[in-house]
Amino acid sequence: MNGRLEGKVAIVTGSTMGIGAAVARRFAREGARVVINSHVIDAAARALQEELGSARSLFVQADITDSAAVERLAGRALAHFGRIDILVNNAGVNVFADPLELDTEGWRRCLGLDLEGAWNACRAVLPAMLAQGGGSIVNIASVHGHKIIKGCFPYPVAKHGLIGLTRSLGVEYAARGIRVNSISPGLILTERIEAWLAGFPDPEAERRRQAALLPCGWIGEPDDVANAALFLASDEARFVNATDLLVDGGRSQVYHD
């Protein structure tokens, strides 16, 4: 541990598995006190809370699509730790459908979690950050916010919007000490992606095929995104604001199917 976040309090939404859990662990190792979150209390939530320890972590169940629930999440963070320095908006969902076959519920679920939920969390923490004179917000966007892949609608709509939210809020609050940035991960070996690969007739062959699409030749891991989030959340990135960092092994820069 290098203490790059020593004395800081971070909220990480959707943080009991995958990228969110990696971010929570990385932040805790760097000295932060971490508020972890999920919309359910399950085995993954209990395991991560036990791993991080009650002295340096707090689990708050909250559905980020519910603005009142997110306000309570921020309130509990303040009551427990006394401040909020960092917000990582990681909670989200993949919704891929034919545009004309997508029902209203699917559209609202995607936009509600991937865009409106992030805004709910930003709106909940901004008053505390403004009162203390600064803070850092990191939104987990996606390469889908940069490039369009057929069959993935409406997910790119939400992620383009999230990058727009990042830029707008970053400019709006820059002079008041708050930085807002985003990270756009490419293919990352989360539990969900591992399960997706396992569904192929030859999972290892598909894993090799996916890796071959990447200029670097290998698939990213949650820690790769967590490391980027650590930089953006830390004071080392004090002059980085209203920008998006691609963490995709270079894939979005080349033509691909």
| 179 Cβ contact partners less than 8 Å away, ≥ 6 residues apart | 135, 136, 137, 170, 232, 237, 238, 240, 241, 242
CB 21 within 8 A of CB 222: yes
What CA–CA distance (Å, rounded) separates 257 from 24? 33
Instruction: List residues bridging with 60 in a β-sheet.
Output: 37
- Neighbour order of strands in the sheet with 33-38: 57-61, 33-38, 9-12, 86-89, 135-140, 178-185, 244-247
Residues facing 140 on adjacent strands: 183
Is residue 155 among the annotated active site residues?
yes
Q: Give CA–CA dist 49/60, Å, rounded.
A: 10
In whole angstroms, give the CA distance from residue 219 to residue 212.
9
Report the distance separating Cα 134 and Cα 136, nearest Å.
Answer: 7
Helix (H) or strand (E) holding 135: strand 135-140
Q: How far apart are CA 182 and CA 237, in angstroms?
A: 12
Q: Which of 81, 153, 155, 173 is catalytic?
A: 155
Q: Give which of 130, 111, 116 is closest to 67, Cα–Cα.
A: 116
Six-digit token pair at 38?
């999920």
Catalytic residues, by residue number, are 155
